């Protein structure tokens, strides 16, 4: 089992196996990659590209993939997944990022959501393909991942939405297709609280059953601009991690804006002595491994 940080700032926290830097999050703003960190790139969710090229935004019968379209779970602008110039630019960018970091973690490497994309180009490509709408979308996503795989010489981790049932219909994502190219998956389970860990454990068990490559789970600790009282508590994060560890996850990442918030989480987790003792009874080896990892933080805080 491996443990990582997932941050928007390049300074590294102590006490983790690896670090993932969000070099291009959905805002589209780009940071320099770091040679001793992995780089995370949001491919099609890209506010900068959408702002510079409004006609690249993904379209659907329920409106465009723009921030504010509440028909979708979209908090940024998403470029059409077949947009050729964006695709080409991202391929080169990903190759460059890969050269200058430990490896590449991608997210948003698929269609914006169900019903996307119905732009003129996508309609034409679909009709020419002779495939059903859903199979055409799957082909578009998988073929682009194959092109990305040729560019990424180091580790390639593909992030997926926490939807084990409908990812094909919503995003054009077929887990078996992606497993051919990915070294691992990262299931992004971001939430401002984990008050009901049962549901997250259930999702983890679903992904354990479906995914043919190892998978990480990413939890939300403290996002940019968050108010501390709106962030998940250390008790919730410890409990949900233990429950997903026993469900078979191969590792965990913890998202914060910067390294000091990781340290705050580590301090708070170390203080939960009673809870950590109780969680020992929650399961076998993987649970013990996670709790031993947290116990190591006692030395660094």
- Which stretch in 67-75, 104-112, 117-125, 171-179 sits in contact with Zn ion by CB under 5 A? 117-125
Exposure string of 240-267, with b = 16+ CB inside 10 Å and e = fewer, is bbbbbbbbebbbbbbbbbbbebbbbbbe
State in angstroms the smallest separation of the CB of 45 from Zn ion.
14
What is the length of the chain? 301
Of these, 42, 122, 157, 244, which contacts Zn ion (CB under 5 A)? 122
Task: Report yes or no: 221 and 263 within 8 Å, Cβ to Cβ.
Answer: no
Sign of the Cα pseudo-torsion (172, 175, 177, 179, in order) = positive
Tell me the helix, strand and coil percentages in the chain, rounded to 5: 45, 20, 40
Residues 45-84 interacting with Zn ion (rule: CB under 5 A): 80
195 alpha-carbon distance from chain centroid: 21
State in angstroms the smallest separation of the CB of 125 from Zn ion.
8
Of these, 45, 117, 204, 259, which contacts Zn ion (CB under 5 A)? 117
Q: Residue 135 or residue 183: which is nearer to Zn ion going by CB?
A: 135
204 near Zn ion, rule: CB under 5 A: no
Q: Residue 37 or residue 65: which is nearer to Zn ion going by CB?
A: 65
Is the N-terminal amide bond of 38 cis, ω within 30° of 0?
no
State in angstroms the smallest separation of the CB of 30 from Zn ion.
24
Task: Report yes or no: 91 and 151 within 8 Å, Cβ to Cβ.
Answer: yes
State in angstroms the smallest separation of the CB of 153 from Zn ion.
30
112 near Zn ion, rule: CB under 5 A: no
118 alpha-carbon distance from chain centroid: 25
Largest CA distance in the chain: 62
- Which stretch in 119-127, 150-158, 182-190, 207-215 sits in contact with Zn ion by CB under 5 A? 119-127
106 near Zn ion, rule: CB under 5 A: no
Beta strand ranges found along the chain (DSSP E): 2-7, 18-24, 38-42, 103-107, 155-160, 184-189, 215-222, 251-256
Q: Residue count at the site for Zn ion (CB under 5 A)?
A: 4
- Which stretch in 36-44, 112-120, 161-169, 279-287 sits in contact with Zn ion by CB under 5 A? 112-120
Q: Residue 122 or residue 279: which is nearer to Zn ion going by CB?
A: 122
Of these, 50, 119, 184, 189, which contacts Zn ion (CB under 5 A)? 119
Q: Residue 19 or residue 116: which is nearer to Zn ion going by CB?
A: 116
41 near Zn ion, rule: CB under 5 A: no
| Contacts with Zn ion, residue ranges (CB under 5 A) | 80, 117, 119, 122
């Amino acid at each position: 089992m491996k443990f990582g940080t997932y941050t928007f700032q390049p300074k590294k926290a102590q006490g983790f196996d690896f670090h993932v830097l969000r070099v291009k999050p959905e805002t589209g703003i780009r940071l320099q990659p770091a040679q001793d960190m992995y780089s995370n790139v949001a491919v099609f969710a890209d506010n900068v590209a959408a702002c510079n090229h409004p006609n690249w935004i993904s379209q659907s019968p329920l409106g465009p993939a723009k921030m504010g379209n509440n028909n979708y779970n979209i908090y940024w602008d998403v470029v059409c997944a077949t947009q050729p110039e964006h695709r080409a630019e991202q391929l080169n960018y990903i190759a460059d990022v890969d050269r200058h970091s430990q490896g590449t973690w991608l997210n948003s490497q698929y269609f914006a959501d169900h019903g996307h994309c119905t732009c003129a180009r996508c309609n034409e490509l679909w009709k020419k393909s002779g495939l059903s709408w859903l199979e055409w979308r799957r082909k578009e996503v998988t073929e682009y991942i194959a092109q990305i795989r040729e560019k990424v010489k180091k580790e390639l981790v593909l992030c997926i939405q926490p939807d084990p049932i409908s990812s094909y219909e919503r995003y054009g994502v077929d887990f078996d297709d992606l497993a051919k190219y990915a070294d691992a998956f990262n299931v992004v389970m971001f939430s401002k609280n984990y008050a009901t860990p049962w549901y997250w454990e259930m999702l983890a068990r679903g992904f354990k059953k479906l995914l043919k490559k190892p998978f990480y789970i990413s939890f939300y600790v403290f996002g940019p601009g968050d108010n501390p009282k709106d962030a998940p508590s250390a008790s919730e994060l410890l409990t949900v991690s233990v429950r997903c560890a026993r469900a078979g996850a191969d590792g965990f990442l913890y998202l914060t804006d910067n390294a000091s918030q990781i340290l705050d989480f580590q301090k708070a987790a170390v203080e939960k002595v009673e809870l950590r003792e109780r969680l020992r009874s929650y399961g076998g080896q993987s649970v013990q491994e996670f709790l031993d990892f947290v116990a190591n933080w006692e030395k660094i805080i």
